[in-house]
Amino acid sequence: MTRKEWLYAMLALVGGLVGGIAGSRLFGPGAAIAAETYPKSIAAQEFKLVDRDGKARALLHSDPGGDPSLEFYDHAGKLRAGLAIDSDQELGFKLYDPTGKARIVFAVATDGASTVRLFDAAGQARELMGVDTGGEPALMFYASDGKFLRQLP
């Protein structure tokens, strides 16, 4: 290689490096952000959020009847909370204990009545608080065997 060819090769190399550095400084981040686009819609039957170990922590899915639910799981993989619309179109939010039993259930019926139910460790409803469609409140208490005890008002 002659001295002139060597000089041209070095100039091309240096020019390429300077151009690459300048281009990345001037246009790099903007070009990367512009290239990062997100879809307007994603369709699936299930979305699962997993932790770094691959354990499910949240699940958004529809049941075989097409009713949607959003569920949250603890570190042990137990269901701890769920939000769902059932086949009767009632909306419910459930909180579960560490054994997986529902302990508190919030519900809104299609007629507008709303309730809060508290359950004991055996899964028996012990308290019901609600407001009916006419706006009348009620508070009911039940024994451990499910027998009605008293109501307010």
Please, which residues have CB within 8 angstroms of residue 102's CB and are 6 or more apart in sequence? 94, 95, 96, 119, 123
pLDDT of residue 44: 87
- Please determine, for residue 153, whether its predicted confidence score (pLDDT) is greater than 90: no
pLDDT of residue 27: 63
Looking at the fold, whether 64 and 116 belong to one and the same domain comes out as yes
- Please determine, for residue 134, whether its predicted confidence score (pLDDT) is greater than 70: yes
Sign of CA pseudo-dihedral 11, 14, 20, 22: negative
pLDDT of residue 106: 95
Looking at the fold, whether 55 and 14 belong to one and the same domain comes out as no
How far is residue 77 from each of residues 54, 58, 62, 106, measured CA to CA in Å?
11, 10, 19, 23
Looking at the fold, whether 16 and 51 belong to one and the same domain comes out as no
Looking at the fold, whether 53 and 110 belong to one and the same domain comes out as yes
pLDDT of residue 126: 96
Report the alpha-carbon distance of residue 91 to residue 83 in Å, rounded. 8
The number of distinct structural domains making up the chain is 2
Looking at the fold, whether 32 and 107 belong to one and the same domain comes out as no
- Please determine, for residue 136, whether its predicted confidence score (pLDDT) is greater than 70: yes
Report the alpha-carbon distance of residue 65 to residue 99 in Å, rounded. 27
pLDDT digits (tens, 9 = 90+) for 84-133: 998 888 899 999 999 999 999 999 999 989 999 999 999 999 999 999 99
Phi-psi region of 102 (alpha: psi -120 to 50; beta: other; left: phi over 0): beta
Looking at the fold, whether 58 and 29 belong to one and the same domain comes out as no
Report the alpha-carbon distance of residue 47 to residue 25 in Å, rounded. 38
Looking at the fold, whether 26 and 63 belong to one and the same domain comes out as no
Looking at the fold, whether 6 and 74 belong to one and the same domain comes out as no
Looking at the fold, whether 66 and 90 belong to one and the same domain comes out as yes
**How does the average pLDDT of the chain come out, rounded?**
85
- CATH number, domain containing residue 113: 3.90.930.1
Looking at the fold, whether 52 and 93 belong to one and the same domain comes out as yes
Please name which of 107, 111, 145 lies closest in space to residue 126, comparing C-alpha atoms.
145
Looking at the fold, whether 20 and 95 belong to one and the same domain comes out as no
Query: By residue range, what is the domain housing residue 5?
Result: 1-37
Looking at the fold, whether 61 and 131 belong to one and the same domain comes out as yes
User: 78: which 2 tokens?
Assistant: 């137990």
